[in-house]
A and B are shown apart, each in its own frame.
Chain A
Amino acid sequence: EPEVTQTPSHQVTQMGQEVILRCVPISNHLYFYWYRQILGQKVEFLVSFYNNEISEKSEIFDDQFSVERPDGSNFTLKIRSTKLEDSAMYFCASSYESPGANVLTFGAGSRLTVL
């Protein structure tokens, strides 16, 4: 069964460092997403990406965050200067159509720990 692959599974970084989280969505999917889940809290929407541009982003997704689909297969989330409160599980997801109409497939997540 096709799956969304995320790397790394766990990253520990110092506050202020840049972090890049990588995702390989399902190959024929057109919509790509990043969500995050702070320990013990809800899964929160960060950003959606379609047709090589951001289609929607949340208040959390400020200037420190950026997304890119550099080569047609990878989908990356960059945090420019990490803060302690960025510590969370980051989930990448993809879908063939917009989420209301179709299945969103989530990756296993990348755990980010900022010290």
Chain B
Amino acid sequence: TQLLEQSPQFLSIQEGENLTVYCNSSSVFSSLQWYRQEPGEGPVLLVTVVTGGEVKKLKRLTFQFGDARKDSSLHITAAQPGDTGLYLCAGVSAGGYNKLIFGAGTRLAVHP
């Protein structure tokens, strides 16, 4: 069974601080996606990383896919209260193509 472990589970920081969220697995994924989920809503895609070692930037968010395509990280620079939410990583297994395997999520709270 393929698993994605996210850490930390919870993160509470002050506005302006930097943070990194990790997504790790012992399995190889053909691609990995990061989502943000608000209460009572479905996950919304932030980014997809496909190539080992790939780095993508989305304003203050930087996403990295590990060289071996088993892990990924999300780094937020100068966090703002609007960044508060649940961040989920989800992988597409290298052997299949039809399903996403989700991590449990990191709940981020950014205080003014």
Asked, given contacts A43-B88, A100-B30, whether A56 binds B42 with beta carbons under 8 Å apart, the answer is no
Contact of A45 among B43, B100, B104 (CB under 8 A): B100
**Contacting residues, chain B, for A101 (C-beta < 8 A):** 31
Contact B42 A91, beta carbon cutoff 8 Å: yes
Are B97 and A104 in contact (CB-based, < 8 A)?
no
Whether B44 contacts A48 by the Cβ 8 Å rule is: no
Is the Cβ of B97 less than 8 Å from the Cβ of A103? Answer: no
The reply on B55 being an interface residue by CB < 8 A is no
**Number of residues from A at the complex interface, CB < 8 A:** 27
Interface residue? B82 (CB, 8 A):
no
**Residue numbers in A under 8 Å from B103 (CB-CB):** 42
Closest chain-B Cβ to A96's Cβ sits at a distance in Å of 13
Contact between A56 and B102, CB atoms less than 8 A apart: no
Instruction: Decide yes or no whether B105 CB sits under 8 A from chain A.
Output: yes
Q: Please judge, given known A-B contacts A43-B88, A93-B42, A108-B42, whether A100 and B31 are in contact too, CB under 8 Å.
A: yes
Complex CA–CA separation, A103 to B102 (angstroms): 15
Q: Is A52 part of the binding interface, using a Cβ–Cβ cutoff of 8 Å?
A: no
Whether A108 contacts B40 in the complex (CB less than 8 A), given A48-B98, A103-B48, comes out as yes
Pairs A-B, 7 closest by C-beta atoms: A106-B42, A100-B92, A56-B98, A48-B98, A45-B99, A43-B102, A98-B97
Q: Which residues of B are in contact with A by a Cβ distance under 8 Å?
A: 30-31, 33, 40-45, 48, 50, 88, 90, 92, 96-105
Chain A contacts to B: CB under 8 angstroms? 4, 31, 33, 35, 41-45, 48, 50, 55-56, 58, 91, 93, 98-101, 103-109
Q: What are 8 A-B contacts defined by CB distance under 8 Å?
A: A4-B42, A55-B98, A91-B42, A100-B30, A100-B31, A106-B44, A108-B40, A109-B42
